[in-house]
Amino acid sequence: MRTQAMCGRAAMLAAIAALVAACETMPPPTDPQAALIAKGRRIFFNETFAGNGRTCGTCHPADNNFTIDAAFIARLPASDPLFVAEFVPALAKNFENPRLMRAFGLILENLDGFDDLANRFVMRGVPHTLALRTSVASPAGPRTGWSGDGAPGDGSLRSFATGAVIQHFTKTLARVPGVDFRLPTDEELDALEAFQLSLGRKEDPKLPLPLKSAVAKRGQELFLDRKVGKCNFCHVNAGASADFGGGNLGNQNFDTGVENLPDRPPRLAGEKPPRDDGFGTPGDGTFNTPPLVEAADTGPFFHDNSVATLEAAVAFYDGESFNNSPAGKALAGATGSGIKLDATQTQAIASFLRVLNALENIRSGIELLESAAPHDDPTQSVFKQAIGDVGDAIRVLREADLHPEALAPLENARRFARRAQQALFTRAYWLQQAVAALKQARAALVE
Ligand code: HEC
Ligand code: HEC
């Protein structure tokens, strides 16, 4: 019996090994779009453009939802190129503010030009680069960055990459192309654009969803309610476009008063970054609407990272800063009142956004695991991203005691995905197990 079993096992292993060998020798993707995306992925995570050592992935890492926050930053080694201002003498002044970077995840941006580095700059959080297909287009042209004018030139995603290299990759403050960095080529810009547009959702959810949690379900009603939450005017279907009743207006800018919040953390820490004037030079005080499906796991919130929790970000709309802002007043004029939310309502809306985020993490996790093609991904960023997504689904639910019954399948999914990541011969099996566990978790959240 024993030899027979071993023999059966050996035969099975040999068969699997043969299959794996066949897979390993499979050529890279022949679909031109897939090849372009794969090339963009390599550039995004590996290309330093002959600069100070940073890559796009330095600030937009795959395993942290393409953004960085203080906790993520605290785990990096001191030699990480994010910290060039701390160890490259030429970048010690007027390039970053290491204190604000480490405490609040803030990055220095010279949005109004490089003429007066000591005084003309703003400190902004790093937005994720997910679901860009849903959050950049507007009738007035593409809107990128927190103020919608982050990119030089035409404001497109393509131009944004060039702007990012000049801003963040330089070896010295002289910023001379060909000396301090090299500019991306047209082919590289095409690949970067294709890769970024491949990340995350390609469309907004269609609300309302048949949610199973009573609290999240109520939050969804309040979110959509044109007399109470009023969120859907500017964040249609929890995305980044506006609709005041006359049709979808695409991605819009508003002055919602974030810059007027009292007790903003950098100020409490004794720093006085200049006021951020938003879109244009000089700015008009407006900021670009971000999508909310991705919000729960990409805090801190707003362009200046001034609010650490999702619940507090929702509560912002009940406050003076919003209701006295140009956008708040316009909304009150159009609907008869400002936004008023009590604690249970704030919590319900935040819970709704948490469940939406968990559902998106599950969707993305399944998509990534099903596509996990190790051939062209030496950094295993697809696996890292998928495992990160499952971890986020767990965290955003657990933080607000939502859906405890979904946690066990999610934990299983994460364990199986890690085994798939490490497996040589049994990858397909563990991928399948992980996907099945994710589907089980999803069934707990939505009908
Ligand atoms: C040092 C950190 C850092 C690096 C490196 C970096 N970024 Fe960013 N990124 C940011 C910050 C901060 C913003 C917000 C800028 C603004 O509001 O204008 C941003 C915004 C973006 C956006 C706008 C997203 C949106 O929703 O509108 C895109 C796209 C982007 N970055 C792509 C890139 C690419 C491509 C690279 C590499 C060429 C790169 N970034 C390198 C910090 C960084
Ligand atoms: C008048 C348009 C408008 C309305 C109404 C509105 N928002 Fe916003 N929202 C914005 C803009 C613009 C930003 C970016 C502001 C900034 O960073 O300065 C934003 C940012 C956010 C963020 C931060 C996202 C992130 O990634 O940092 C959250 C969360 C949010 N809104 C939730 C809501 C909720 C919940 C409601 C309803 C109670 C709501 N919003 C109503 C325009 C609006």
Ligand 1 centroid, distance to 160 Cα (angstroms): 7
Q: Which is higher by pLDDT, 390 or 373? A: 390
Q: Is the pLDDT of residue 339 over 50?
A: yes
**Protein residue whose Cα sits closest to atom 37 of ligand 2:** 231
Q: Which of the residue ranges 118-132, 232-246, 361-375 would you say has the lowest mean pLDDT?
A: 361-375
Q: How far apart are CA 149 and CA 142, in angstroms?
A: 9
Ligand 2 interacting residues, C-beta cut-off 6 A:
146, 229-231, 233-235, 254, 256, 258, 287, 289-290, 292, 295, 298, 301-303, 313-314, 317, 327, 331, 339, 349
Query: Which ligand neighbours the alpha carbon of 121 most closely?
Result: 1
pLDDT, residue 11, reads 55
Ligand 1 centroid, distance to 129 Cα (angstroms): 8
Tokens at residue 411, please? 């934990």
pLDDT, residue 9, reads 59
pLDDT, residue 14, reads 53
Q: How far apart are CA 37 and CA 193, in angstroms?
A: 8
User: Among residues of the chain, what percentage have pLDDT more than 70?
Assistant: 92
Q: Which of the residue ranges 133-142, 165-174, 176-185, 322-331 would you say has the lowest mean pLDDT?
A: 133-142
Nearest-5° Cα angle at 143, 139 to 149: 125
Ligand 2 centroid, distance to 287 Cα (angstroms): 10
Ligand 2 centroid, distance to 176 Cα (angstroms): 38
Residue 378's pLDDT band, with cuts at 50, 70 and 90, is low
Nearest-5° Cα angle at 44, 41 to 46: 95
pLDDT, residue 382, reads 87
Name the residue type at position 375.
H
Q: Is the pLDDT of residue 299 over 80?
A: yes
Atom of ligand 2 nearest to the CA of 125: 27
Residue 7's pLDDT band, with cuts at 50, 70 and 90, is very low
Ligand 1 centroid, distance to 59 Cα (angstroms): 7
Which of 124, 134, 235, 347 is the best mutation target for the ligand 2 pocket, counting ligand atoms within 8 Å of the beta carbon and taking the most? 235
Q: Is the pLDDT of residue 323 over 80?
A: yes
Ligand 2 centroid, distance to 316 Cα (angstroms): 9
Q: Is the pLDDT of residue 179 over 60?
A: yes
Q: Is the pLDDT of residue 397 over 90?
A: yes
Query: Which ligand neighbours the alpha carbon of 164 most closely?
Result: 1
Q: Is the pLDDT of residue 21 over 50?
A: no
Residue 154's pLDDT band, with cuts at 50, 70 and 90, is confident
Average pLDDT over residues 64-86: 98
Q: Which of the residue ranges 44-58, 317-331, 371-385, 400-414 would you say has the lowest mean pLDDT?
A: 371-385
pLDDT tens profile 211-255: 999 999 999 999 999 999 999 999 999 999 999 999 999 999 999
Ligand 1 centroid, distance to 408 Cα (angstroms): 35
Ligand 1 centroid, distance to 127 Cα (angstroms): 7
Ligand 1 centroid, distance to 101 Cα (angstroms): 15
pLDDT, residue 372, reads 75
Query: Which ligand neighbours the alpha carbon of 299 most closely?
Result: 2
Residue 373's pLDDT band, with cuts at 50, 70 and 90, is low
Which of 56, 188, 305 is the best mutation target for the ligand 1 pocket, counting ligand atoms within 8 Å of the beta carbon and taking the most? 56
**Long-range contacts (CB closer than 8 Å, 24 or more residues apart) made by 76-81:** 81/48, 81/52, 81/53, 81/54, 81/55
Ligand 1 interacting residues, C-beta cut-off 6 A:
54, 56, 58-60, 107, 109, 111, 124, 126-127, 129, 135, 144-147, 150, 157, 160-161, 164-165, 168, 192, 196
Average pLDDT over residues 397-426: 95
Atom of ligand 2 nearest to the CA of 310: 29
**Protein residue whose Cα sits closest to atom 29 of ligand 2:** 313
Taking all residues of the chain, what is their mean pLDDT, rounded to a whole number? 92
105 contact partners, CB below 8 Å, separation of at least 6? 68, 69, 70, 72, 73, 125, 126, 300, 305
**Protein residue whose Cα sits closest to atom 32 of ligand 2:** 314
**Protein residue whose Cα sits closest to atom 10 of ligand 1:** 126
Q: Is the pLDDT of residue 405 over 70?
A: yes
421 contact partners, CB below 8 Å, separation of at least 6? 380, 383, 387
Ligand 1 centroid, distance to 250 Cα (angstroms): 21
Among candidate residues 31, 61, 69, the one with its CA nearest the CA of residue 309? 69
* Beta carbons of 435 and 390 less than 8 angstroms apart: no
**Protein residue whose Cα sits closest to atom 8 of ligand 1:** 164
pLDDT, residue 28, reads 56
Q: Is the pLDDT of residue 207 over 70?
A: yes
Tokens at residue 16, please? 């699997």
**Protein residue whose Cα sits closest to atom 13 of ligand 1:** 126
Ligand 1 centroid, distance to 23 Cα (angstroms): 36
Give me the torsion for CA of 67, 360, 63, 49, rounded to 10°.
-50
